[in-house]
Structure 1
Amino acid sequence: MRDRAWIYPAVFLTLSNAALALLLFPNPLALLQGLKIVPFWMLGTLAGFGVVVISKTLKMMRAGEERPLLKLREWADWQLVMTVMAAMTLACLNQTAFLWLKPTLNIYVPFTADPLLADIDRALFLNRDPWTLLTWLNNDWSGLIYHFIWYASITGSLMMLLSRPASARKAAMALTYFVCWSVIGPLIHCLLPAGGPIFYQRLGYGDRFAGIDGGIETERVADFLWHGFESGHFEVASGISAMPSLHVTLAVWTVLCVAQFKPRYALLVAFFAIYVFLLSISLGWHYAIDGIVGGTCAVFIYHILRTIFENRSPQSSTALIR
């Protein structure tokens, strides 16, 4: 199996989201400023390569290699490096398209599901809102961990995946990543549009979640998102959507990815995914059911796609992009 098996559908999903946003957003030219994230994404990718180089260099130095950098130069597979860079660029453009579509949906799909999702949470947790059990998790660092460490874990896992030889497992895992952003997020948002506990009172549903204190970082991001929603102007990384929690969805995807290709780190990554899930509730970004639905979708989509790809091609295929 070749990598084109997942790349072609990923390109289609990216273009579809971008076209839909450009068609529906009142001022489509404003969306172009969302491309500002591209250089930052690519710098993050280069930083990821830097971590690999440093790690390999230190390992060779410990093994007694006198000229580790020269050896590393001989070891480097530049075709693979360029392949990973190209695929990471596609992933960046896919996320950009999602960030265009997310605020666009806010214009056309009113938030109506918050009371329902809040009541489902209360029923699941024996007549108690789950955030009240998790306030001890919140501190000045929680918001930064929830946003930036999570993002770094997703980027690192994606780079690790893209460096693997082509296979049915790789194709299924890579395409699951794109499906989560391009299909699962927008589709379920349209079916159950919700702003989340952090916006519950601002949406006019009452002060049920007024006691949540997510810290300065969380408050700053919430004010930024609300301003973009209320003003109707596009801002980079704007848009509000609670159901499903893509934070949890992609955290579960990371667990699946690491378990398949770097299993010795799977337990550590699983603990972090659980932590992200709990933070999504304690900080007020999501109802518990948002993460449960998102994580379940990630597992379901991966296993469906893996079955499809394995039935299409023999397991032994290891060809790269051609």
Structure 2
Amino acid sequence: MTLFERVSKREHAIVRLNLIIALAFALFVVAQPAVPTWEFLRLIGTFLLLTIPLSALSLLGFALLNARGPGMLAALQDRWRSDRFVTLLWPVLLFAIVMSSFSAFKQRILPHAGFHFDPALAAIDRSIFGVDLGLWLHKIIGSPLLTYFLDGVYHAWFLPMSVGVGIVALCTDARTRMQYMTAFTMTWIGLGSILAYLLPAAGPCFYGVLVGPIGNGPFEAVNDALVADRAARAADFLFTIEVRDMLLDRFNDPDLSIGGGISAIPSIHNAMAVLFALVGYRFNRVFGLCMSAFAALIWLGSVYLNWHYAIDGIVGAAGAIGLWYGAGFLTGPAHAKEPAAERVLAGGTTFAKR
């Protein structure tokens, strides 16, 4: 029996579909003159190396979840016999391909679209809220304490985005695993790459540098407020300021790096946070509510910290919800039967409740 014969035909088809899409996108990216081939291969290697600790953490979490059940070792042995950890391997491999391709696209291809959509996004925000929302938030509720709180929450987003892939791979049923990874792939490629290229914008914090001084007043005022909050706490470090300066320094750098590139709409921070919440409800209601609160804080932080216009997060969230349910349609009905081997989850316990 081959590795992929150990999973259902339905999952086999979904794996194949996702890998075809991811590899096609990777080939498109590396074929562009702006993307150095060796730099792209190095970036893929970096993400592949990153999957090693991610996989190890996922296996550790899986074992700990079963410590009071059949036992950690017995649970791992059971999962190995059932699918040879294929259900762990394909999501983390997909993660490495998608993230490296997206990173290269955002850093070397997206800038060629220009950043001419920012004035329209700022105008949309003003028409919806009647104010420049980021500056208004600083005037109404702004404080150094809130700034550092939102800064920590916003930049902690990388943890559920990466480790979450391994958790979903090992601790959910096959349908949830397929649905999440399909939505994950299409969020980064469809929203973060294709839609971002069609609606090119830099974001409020980069407005004055990459767009132009006209209309930059409110956004520069928010940048000044963040610098003042950092000084008020007698601190030399604020993630938002350090990352913003790093992105500007690397904007024309031919070397590819993790986390590089500039883009505003749609907000992938917000889109992925909404996906965290949607899959969280598959574990249980409390976890789903906690991840929903996290998504709300990410949206608030994206505006307050000057990374995004409010509409960026709204579009990102709407896109993520649409892709989640679209992926659910592709993966099939929840009541579809699968061989017993594919239902061996966390010592026989299925975490998906919906």
Tell me if TM exceeds 0.5. Answer: yes
Q: Percent identity?
A: 24
Alignment-derived partner of residue 264 in structure 1: 286
Of 12-21 and 116-125, deviating more is 12-21
Matches within 5 A, 1:4-83: 4-26=12-34, 27-34=36-43, 35-57=45-67, 59=68, 71-76=71-76, 77-78=79-80, 79=83, 81-83=85-87
Query: Which of the residues 121, 132, 137 maps onto 2:125?
Result: 121
2:327 counterpart of 1:317: no
Matched-pair contact (CA < 8 Å) for 2:51–2:96: yes
1:266, distance to aligned residue in structure 2 (A): 0.7
Query: Which of the residues 186, 195, 198 maps onto 1:188?
Result: 195
Instruction: Give, as a single letter, the amino acid of the residue that structure 1 aligns with 2:23.
Output: L
SS of residue matched to 1:21 = helix
Of 281-290 and 43-52, deviating more is 43-52
Query: Which of the residues 304, 307, 310 maps onto 2:326?
Result: 304
Matched-pair contact (CA < 8 Å) for 1:197–1:284: yes
Q: Name the CA distance, whole Å, in 2 between partners of 1:100 and 1:172.
A: 25
1:271, distance to aligned residue in structure 2 (A): 0.4
Deviations 1:173-231 (A, max 9, x none): 32111100111211211121011011011122433311221752111111111122134
Matched-pair contact (CA < 8 Å) for 2:270–2:313: yes
Normalized against structure 1, the TM-score is what? 0.85
Work out the number of aligned pairs and report it.
308
Give ranges in structure 2 of 5+ residues lacking alignment: 1-8, 231-237, 344-354
Alignment-derived partner of residue 277 in structure 1: 299
1:75, distance to aligned residue in structure 2 (A): 2.4
Instruction: Give, as a single letter, the amino acid of the residue that structure 2 aligns with 1:75.
Output: A
Matched-pair contact (CA < 8 Å) for 1:248–1:273: yes
1:160, distance to aligned residue in structure 2 (A): 3.2
Q: Name the CA distance, whole Å, in 2 between partners of 1:52 and 1:12.
A: 29
SS of residue matched to 2:208 = coil
Matched-pair contact (CA < 8 Å) for 1:45–1:155: no
Q: Name the CA distance, whole Å, in 2 between partners of 1:156 and 1:263.
A: 20
Q: Name the CA distance, whole Å, in 1 between partners of 2:320 and 2:12.
A: 21
SS of residue matched to 1:200 = helix
CA shift in 2, pair 1:162/1:11, >3 Å: same
1:268, distance to aligned residue in structure 2 (A): 0.8
Q: Name the CA distance, whole Å, in 2 between partners of 1:33 and 1:290.
A: 31
Instruction: Give, as a single letter, the amino acid of the residue that structure 1 aligns with 2:190.
Output: V
Q: Name the CA distance, whole Å, in 1 between partners of 2:103 and 2:50.
A: 15
Normalized against structure 2, the TM-score is what? 0.78
Matches within 5 A, 1:224-239: 224-239=246-261
Matched-pair contact (CA < 8 Å) for 1:21–1:28: no
CA shift in 2, pair 1:271/1:185, >3 Å: same
1:81, distance to aligned residue in structure 2 (A): 3.6
Indicate the RMSD between aligned Cα atoms, in angstroms: 2.6
Deviations 1:276-301 (A, max 9, x none): 11111111111111110011011112
Q: Name the CA distance, whole Å, in 1 between partners of 2:241 and 2:342.
A: 45
Of 285-294 and 138-147, deviating more is 138-147
Instruction: Give, as a single letter, the amino acid of the residue that structure 1 aligns with 2:12.
Output: R
Q: Name the CA distance, whole Å, in 1 between partners of 2:94 and 2:62.
A: 21
